[in-house]
Amino acid sequence: MDKVPDSSTAPGSTSDRVLDGLARLCLIVAGILLVFLIFSFGWLVFGRYVLNDTPTWIEQSSLLIVVYITCLGAAAGVRFNSHLSIDFLREGAPRVPRAIMHAIADGFVILFGAFMAWQGGLMVLSNAGRPIPMIGLSESWRAAPLVVCGVLLVIFTGANLIKRWFSNPRAGS
């Protein structure tokens, strides 16, 4: 089930190790944010029902944190090929059509990642002057993970595509 390669045993180039390390960093940051999210909701419940003083910042900060967790986890999932997919038709096809379908799917992910990064960048720029209610940070912080995720999608998918393209053509056939 765990598709994250063990860096001590996985063969690969320096670029593979760097990209795997970057994806692992995404998962670590997302995990830390998830723990913070859980504790902040615990504080919300404690503040509301025990102290009778609801901490109002938790709702807005949790919405912000969920975006970061989602985007970082999605990018790492692309690197480690751990996203849910319906691939029985593709994987049941002969080698050449399978390679073409892989390339088409990767092309769509690269296009989506580039679009996500571009539009996220526009959102960052257009929302720089607006504060998020209750926490006072710029609204740009909500869109920043879209830029990061989009760039990582392009990098990780491009690397996976190149790796698949230059790997042994008989592998998996």
Domain containing 134 equals: 14-166
CA angle 73, 31, 115 (to 5 degrees): 25
- Judge contact between 76 and 30, C-beta under 8 A: yes
Quick one: pLDDT at residue 173? 43
Mean pLDDT of the chain: 89
Q: Which residues, 6+ apart, have CB-to-CB distance to 115 below 8 Å?
A: 150
Residue 8 falls inside a structural domain = no
Task: Confirm whether 1 is domain-assigned.
Answer: no
Residue 161 forms part of a structural domain: yes
Give a yes or no: residue 173 inside a domain.
no
**Phi, psi angles (nearest 5°) of residue 3:** -100, 5
- Cα(146)–Cα(126) distance, integer angstroms: 14
In this structure, is residue 4 part of a structural domain?
Answer: no
For the cut 80, the answer to whether the pLDDT of residue 26 exceeds it is: yes
Q: Is residue 172 part of a domain?
A: no
Do 102 and 90 meet the contact criterion of CB atoms below 8 Å apart? yes
Q: Residue 148: which of 120, 128, 127 has the closest Cα?
A: 120
- Whole-model pTM: value is 0.84
pLDDT digits (tens, 9 = 90+) for 79-115: 998 988 778 888 888 989 988 999 999 999 999 999 9
One-letter amino acid of 126: S
Do the domain assignments include residue 51? yes
For residue 71, pLDDT over 60 is answered with: yes
Q: How many domains does the chain fold into? A: 1
Establish if 133 belongs to a structural domain. yes
pLDDT at 3: 56
Sequence letter at residue 87: D
